[in-house]
Amino acid sequence: MGRIVLEKVTKRFGEVEVIPPLDLTIEDGEFAVFVGPSGCGKSTLLRLIAGLEDVSSGNIAIDGQDATSTPPAKRGLAMVFQSYALYPHMSVRKNIAFPLKMAKLDQAEIDKRVNGAASVLNLSDYLDRRPGQLSGGQRQRVAIGRAIVREPAAFLFDEPLSNLDAALRVGMRLEISELHKRLETTMIYVTHDQVEAMTMADKIVVLRAGNIEQVGSPLELYHSPRNIFVAGFIGSPRMNFIEGDVAAKYGAHTIGIRPEHIAVSESEGTWSGTVGVAEHLGSDTFFHVHQTGLAETMTIRADGEVGFRHGDRIHLTPREDVIHKFDAKGLRIA
Amino acid sequence: MARAVTSRRKTINTALAWGVGLIIFFPILWTILTSFKTEGDAIAYPPKFLFFDWTLENYSVVQERSDYMRYLWNSVIIAGGSTLLGIIIAVPAAWSMAFVPSKRTKDILMWMLSTKMLPAVGVLYPIYLMFIKLGLLDTRIGLVIVLMLINLPIIVWMLYTYFKEIPGEILEAARMDGATLKEEILHVLTPMAVPGIASTILLNVILAWNEAFWTLNLTAAKAGPLTAFIASYSSPEGLFYAKLSAASTMAIAPILILGWFSQKQLVRGLTFGAVK
C-alpha cells in the first residue's frame, strides 16, 4: 500500500520559496513521474516526500497516516539515488542486506530476501563483489535491489538513469517499468527527460519553478497540454509555435503544431520554406525549415523515406484538427 | 635527447632530496651516535663520527637512575588517552559541521583553529591554579584532558576535511534504509572514513607524545611522560651529553618506529584533499 497525499506543502530555503503551496495525490500502485527543467523543484519535492528535507508548511500523508514530521527511516519508503549511493566498503550482498539488518530481521529471512532480489536483478554472480568492481548498470541494479528487499510502501527514484550511457538507459528504463508491473508498488520517479516520463509514467506531473503546471497521463499531456510550457516540454521534437496573423486566423494569440502533424510536399501546401538541416534517423527524418514566414525555424517530422536535402524549397500542410491554440497568457483555448 | 636530460635531472633531484633529508635527519642521527659514546668522546674535538669506543653504558646508567618504563607508560597513556578522548568528541562535531552545516560553521572552524594561535604560556597560570584546586596536578588524567583540549581543534579540522569528501547521498541512503543517527555514523560514516580517522589518530598521538610545554609544567614525579624524562637529564646535569643523548634516544625511539611504519598513511593523511 502506498497512497501519498501532499496538502498545501511548501518549502523555503531561507528567503527563497522553492515550492509554493502545492497539492498532489499519488494513488496506490501508481507510477508517477515528476518532470521539468533543472531547478524546477522536482528533486526537492521528492526529498520532501522522502523526509530528507523538512516541509516549511503543509502536510504529507502516507496511507492515510500523517508523516509530515516522521523521520525518513520510519516512512516505509525506499529511495534510489542518482549517484547510486552504494556503501563502498560493503559487498553487494551487505549493501542489499543493509536495510534488513537495520530492521533487525533474522539472518535466515535476510538471506532469503537478498537472494530473491539478486536473482530478480541478475546479480547472483556478483554478491561478493564490492560496488567499485561493478559497471554502472550493475551498480544501479544493486541500488534497486537495496530498495526492493524492504518491500516499501513506495519507491522513490531520483534521476536514476542519468549517469548511464544511452543504450543502458533504455534497457534499465524497461527493467524498471517491468519491475513496477510485477510489484504493483507505488513508484515516484524524478527525471528531466520527457522521453522517460512519457514511456514509464501512469501519471506525469510537470513542474516549473516549484509549481505544478499539469498533472495527467502521458497521452493527456500530449493531446491537450494546459499551457504553452507543457506543450513545449512534452513531445519530441518540440512543438512549433506560431504567433501573429497566422495565429489570429485561428482566433488565438499563439498556435502550436507538433512536428509530426505537418505534412511535407514538393509542390503544394499551406506554407512553404527552405530546408536548413535534414536529420535522417532512418525510421524518421527531421527537417528544420527556415524562411517560412511563421517562426524562425519550423521542425517537421516526416517518414524516413522522404529525401529532401539542405536548400530544397518545400511546402508544408498542418493537420487542422490537431492545432493547439493558446491565449496571450499562454493558456490553452478549448 | 630529451630523455637524457630528464634522467639527468632525475638524478640531480634524487641527490638533492637525499641531501636535504640527511641534513634534516642529522641532529637525530648525531643524538643516536652520541648515546653510544663515552662522555669523553661525546665532547671530543674534532668530533668523532663513527670511530669511537662504542658503549651501552649510558643506557644502563640512565635506566638505573630513572625508571624508563614508568615514563614510557605515562607517555602511552597520555598520548593514547588524549587522542582517543579527542576522537570520541570530534567525530560527532565534525559530522555535524560536514553534513548539517549552519551559516556559522566556517566561523566556528576558524575560531577553533585560532585558539591554537594563542601562546600556551598565556593560559598556564589559570590552568595551573585550576589544576591545584581540582587536584589534577601531576596526574595522568589531568594531562589527558589538557592535551585532548589543545589538540581538539586539529582533530576536528582533520576529520571535517575527510568527512567533507564523503558524498552526503550515501548517508541519506543509510537514513532511508532505516539507520538511526548512531547506526549511520557507526556502520556507514566511520568505516568509510577509516583512512582519515587513522591518520588523524596517528598525527595526534605524535603531537601528544612530543608535547613538552604542558607535560613539563603540570607534572612532577608521578605523571611525567618521556618529555619529563629527557628534561630531567638536561638542566642539572647538562654536561653529560652522552647520557642525555641516551635518554633522548630512548624517548624518541617508540614514536620514530611508529612514524616509520606509518609514514605512507601519514603523508596521505596530511595531503588529503589538497591534491586530487
The answer to whether residue B46 sits within a structural domain is no
Q: What integer is the mean pLDDT of A193-208?
A: 93
Question: B46: burial class by Cβ within 10 Å (0-12, 13-18, 19+)?
Answer: exposed
Residue B8 lies inside a defined structural domain of this protein = no
Q: How far is B100 from chain A (nearest CA, A)?
A: 12
Contact A236, A196 (CB under 8 A): no
**Opening angle at CA A94, ends A92 and A98, nearest 5:** 120
Q: Tell me whether A82 touches chain B (CB under 8 Å).
A: yes
Q: What pLDDT band is residue A86 in, cutting at 50, 70 and 90?
A: very high
Contact A99 B177 (CB under 8 A): yes
Question: How many beta-carbon contacts under 8 Å exist across A and B?
Answer: 59
A52 contacts B175? CB cut-off 8 A: yes
Give pLDDT tens digits for B24-43.
999 989 989 988 988 878 77
At A323, is the pLDDT very low, low, confident or very high (cuts 50, 70, 90)? very high
* Mean predicted confidence (pLDDT) in A32-53: 93
Q: Is residue B78 part of a domain?
A: yes
Residue B4: inside a domain, yes or no?
A: no
Q: Which residues of chain B carry a pLDDT beneath 50?
A: 1, 273-276
> Is any Cβ of chain B less than 8 angstroms from the Cβ of A79?
yes
For chain A, give percent helix, strand, coil, nearest 5: 30, 30, 35
Residue B131, domain extent:
64-271
| A70, A84, A87, A162, best to mutate vs chain B, most B CBs in 10 Å | A87
For residue range A3-26, what is the model confidence (pLDDT) as tens digits? 999 999 999 988 888 999 999 999
**How many beta carbons lie within 10 A of that of residue A42, not counting itself?**
27
pLDDT band at A81 (very low <50, low <70, confident <90, very high): very high
Q: For residue B255, how far is the Cα from the chain centroid?
A: 8
CA pair distance B183, B174, nearest whole angstrom: 9
Does the distance separating the beta carbons of B179 and A102 come in below 8 Å? yes
Average pLDDT, chain A: 92
Q: What pLDDT does residue B270 have?
A: 59
- Note whether B179 contacts A: Cβ–Cβ < 8 A: yes
If you ran DSSP here, which 8-state letter would residue A327 be given? -
Whole-model pTM?
A: 0.78
Q: Is residue B52 assigned to a domain?
A: no
Task: Give A296's pLDDT tier (boundaries 50, 70, 90).
Answer: confident
pLDDT of residue A166: 84
Whether residues A73 and B180 touch (CB distance < 8 A) is answered with yes
CATH of the domain at B169: 1.10.3720.10
Say if B35 falls within a structural domain.
no
pLDDT of residue B5: 63
**CB distance A149 to A100 below 8 Å:** yes
Q: Per the domain annotation, does B84 fall within a domain?
A: yes
Lowest mean pLDDT of A38-42, A79-83, A223-227, B259-263, name the range.
B259-263
Q: Which residues in chain A are contacts of B170 at CB distance < 8 A?
A: 85-88
What residue ranges define each of the domains in chain A, with the CATH number in brackets? 4-230 (3.40.50.300), 237-326 (2.40.50.140)
Question: What pLDDT does residue B276 have?
Answer: 30
**Predicted local confidence at residue B230, as pLDDT:** 82
Q: What is the pLDDT of residue B269?
A: 60
A73 in contact with B, Cβ within 8 Å: yes
Q: In this complex, is the C-beta atom of B167 within 8 Å of any C-beta atom belonging to chain A?
A: yes
B50 found inside a domain: no
Overall number of domains in chain B: 1
Binned at pLDDT 50, 70 and 90, residue A204 comes out as: very high
Q: What is the pLDDT of residue B268?
A: 65
